[in-house]
Structure 1
Amino acid sequence: MGDRRLSAPNSAVSTPPEASRWRRAPRWAWWSILGNAGLLGLLAWTLGQATPPPARGPATPSAAQPSKASTLTSPPPSPELGPRHQLSYEQWVGLLGREARAIAAQPPKHLNILLGDSLSLWFPSELLPTETTWLNQGISGETSGGLLNRLDLMDQTDPEVIFVMIGINDLIRGVSNEAIAANYRGMIRYLVWAHPDSRIVVQSVLPHSGPKATWEGRDRLLAIPLEQIQDLNESLAAIARDEGAQYLNLYPLFADETGYLHHDFTTDGLHLNRNGYLVWRSALQLYSQIKP
């Protein structure tokens, strides 16, 4: 799984043997974003909902340092959520810490960081936008509380952009929108403090496929109304605006005409397939052009 975690241009470590195979993927997913003026306009509109983060001075430890653990409201993640893997949660955290320290010791240019759960973890490294080094800090089954509690792993890194997507596993576990929002506010405050020169980008929680889902926890997905996800995303957009971060609304790009996750973008109604990651990749590329 190491090749999914750290991606750098022209690096043997980060370019798996199948790195060129994405070009043979169905091009309709790419052109559905880049070639359709309506979707481009939609993406530009979603990006325009956030205000740019204010200028921030250098971070210096003080009594005002945000506490990561103060809003921890959910239990530690378990491997039952998302794709199963061989490592325990604690082992994954240890692995991420080592990778973050390694990249901090030899800082690359144009470092971007992905923070999240299995959706971020399984982003194919060869599909991530090029000309950028990507540090993937996703963990399968991660929750907003778990992510909040491990942000200090990246304290010594110097990223240009930190992308955050988390929350679906909280909803699956029955965590309230209010608790998730509180964890998000704690995360953004900490990241703004620890990385004053970085852009912090909150990405919306994606829809699920509802009755069409085949994921083993389908009943738990059905218990999450789409309105709850949309309400949560509205809260996340407001938190990003209030705390000096940016908001990237991916939800409309993944939803079908009924609001559920489009079947062409998912493997099981919860996780993304290659087409889904092509859409996400296109959104990230457009984001970098619209929000320099």
Structure 2
Amino acid sequence: MSNPAKTFPIWAFFSLLTNIVLMLAIALLIYRQQGLTAFFATETSPAQLKPDSQGQAVTPELGSRHKLNYQQWVDVLRQEAKVAAQKRPQHLTILVGDSLSLWFPAELLPQNRTWLNQGLSGETSTGLLKRLELFDSTQPETIFVMIGINDLIRGVSDETILKNQRQIMRYLKKVHPQTQIVVQSILPHGGEDATWEGREKLLEISNSRIRRLNQKLQAIAQKEGVKYLDLYPLFAHKQGLLRPKLSTDGLHLNSQGYLVWSSALQLYSQMQLQAQRVR
């Protein structure tokens, strides 16, 4: 007779994990909601490697950087990665992806880590694959990757997205063999309730397609020996759309959305740390 523990399906484990994260995130939202009101009265920008008095990365104002084009942004990210490579901060963690990662408030990222934000607005899996070399010289403990929604918006096929995702995983594993690579699922969108300027393009992408794409992405991650973090259930309501309370426009996240994501990263990191101690 087979051992039940050995046959416990991986998808069931991740489903349980995400449900736990959601409950914790909701509790954290209630606890911190008042404190976040003042902070989110103004926009924040991606974190740079410019330590404060406690040695943690801090977030400067974007200012004129709003006007940068894609290549100029790449140059900025290259310089920030260069600083991280030179200073070699402890517990360096890289957040890489599109605007969802770019606008992750530094104040909400899990503490006790030094974060290097390599997010770029409008980024696709093809663009990300071409610029992974920006942080080749860094020595991160963990790299969190989220990419794909802009590919879908631009009409890129699932096959191309998955091919690029696989190449991203393999590249990061090769260049950062001691680093934990974590691929995160593509988030849902708000459907008919979306108010984003490209709403019509979003409506052409079914959230069921995103779910199927995520399932294939998870299978690839497992085959490539890369961690997979399924955030989709945390952001989708019963109809499978992005929860309005977590979004500004049906595509991008608001303060509560980032708090849910932050809670997921925090819990994930704690579980991985405990697993390492058990070993």
Q: Normalization by structure 1: what TM-score? A: 0.74
Equivalenced residues, count: 226
**Structure 2: runs of 5 or more not aligned:** 1-42, 274-279
Offset of residue 235 of structure 1: 1.2
How is 1:135-174 mapped onto 2 (pairs within 5 angstroms)? 135-174=116-155
Match of 1:286 in 2: 267
Aligned partner letter, 1:244: G
In structure 2, do the counterparts of structure 1 residues 127 and 219 end up closer, same or farther at CA, with 3 Å as the change threshold? same
Partner of 1:4: 46
Larger mean Cα displacement after TM superposition, 1-10 or 192-201: 1-10
Query: SS where residue 4 of structure 1 aligns?
Result: coil
Q: Match for residue 58 of structure 2?
A: 14
Q: How far is the alpha carbon of 1:265 from its aligned partner?
A: 0.2
Cα contact 2:44–2:103 (8 A) shared by 1: no
How far off its partner does 1:124 sit?
A: 0.4
Aligned partner (choices 67, 90, 114) of residue 95 of structure 2? 114
Asked if 2 retains the 8 angstrom alpha-carbon contact of 1:16 and 1:126, the reply is no
Counterpart check, 1:94 vs 2:75:
yes
1:4, CA displacement in angstroms? Answer: 1.9
**2: CA distance, partners of 1:289 / 1:16:** 28
1:103-145: CA deviations, max 9, x gaps?
Answer: 1001000000001000000000101011000000000000000
> Any idea what the Cα deviations from partners look like across 1:200-219, whole Å, max 9, x if unmatched?
00000000000000001000
* Contiguous gaps of at least 5 residues in structure 1: 18-83
Contact in 2 for aligned 1:6/1:133 (Cα 8 Å): no
188, 195, 210: which one aligns with 1:214: 195
Structure with the bigger RCO (C-alpha within 8 Å, sep 6+) is 1
Equivalent residue for 2:277?
Answer: none
Q: Deviations over 1:5-62 (max 9, x none)?
A: 2266724861569xxxxxxxxxxxxxxxxxxxxxxxxxxxxxxxxxxxxxxxxxxxxx
- Structure 1: which 4+ aligned runs deviate by more than 3 Å? none
Give the counterpart letter for 1:235 in structure 2.
K
Do 1:6 and 1:125's aligned partners in 2 also have CA atoms closer than 8 Å?
Answer: no
TM-score normalised by L of structure 2: 0.78
Which runs of structure 2 are paired with 1:264-275 in the superposition (5 Å)?
264-275=245-256
Higher helix share: 2
Q: 1:15 to 1:173 in 2, by over 3 A?
A: closer
Percent identical residues? 59
